A and B are shown apart, each in its own frame.
Chain A
Amino acid sequence: DSGVTQTPKHLITATGQRVTLRCSPRSGDLSVYWYQQSLDQGLQFLIQYYNGEERAKGNILERFSAQQFPDLHSELNLSSLELGDSALYFCASSVTGLNEKLFFGSGTQLSVL
């Protein structure tokens, strides 16, 4: 168990809908990262937060947004969902946010039908 908690584990929804994925980092970790992993692609970095502030942005679509709250948990919001958004979404956390050791959650499997 990495100590990173993601909910829900599975999410099935329809095209055009909006969903929210939730992540609680390891105790003491200030930084949260979101990654997308689909079958034909590796881990794609979406966005990073450190202590409530956005630190880095990767290949995140404009339809997607995220935030980190004062209690350090984070939410990833996906809207106007398309079939191609079906993927595993991982949250990871680290202590300082300087891209050192990342600890990953077990992921949320999103299926868009």
Chain B
Amino acid sequence: GQQLNQSPQSMFIQEGEDVSMNCTSSSIFNTWLWYKQDPGEGPVLLIALYKAGELTSNGRLTAQFGITRKDSFLNISASIPSDVGIYFCAGRSNFNKFYFGSGTKLNVKP
């Protein structure tokens, strides 16, 4: 089956620092998605990427759909305390099935 490797597993950073996390897949995807999950809530969509090479920003967040269609990264610039949470990547296959990474837990020190 499809394997999604997300790294790092966790990060401890100082407020104001930039953050980068990425996902790689054993197979190609048609869509890459990035979600954030706060405690006690479901994942919330941050950014959706639909084309290989696409670079998309949403405020302080920037994500890219890798040229090979097997990878994606998410950058967060100038982190703030409310960025704390778990970030998940997800890829959508040809069969409209979604595969999720294991998550990156982000901790931000004020």
Chain B associates with chain A: no
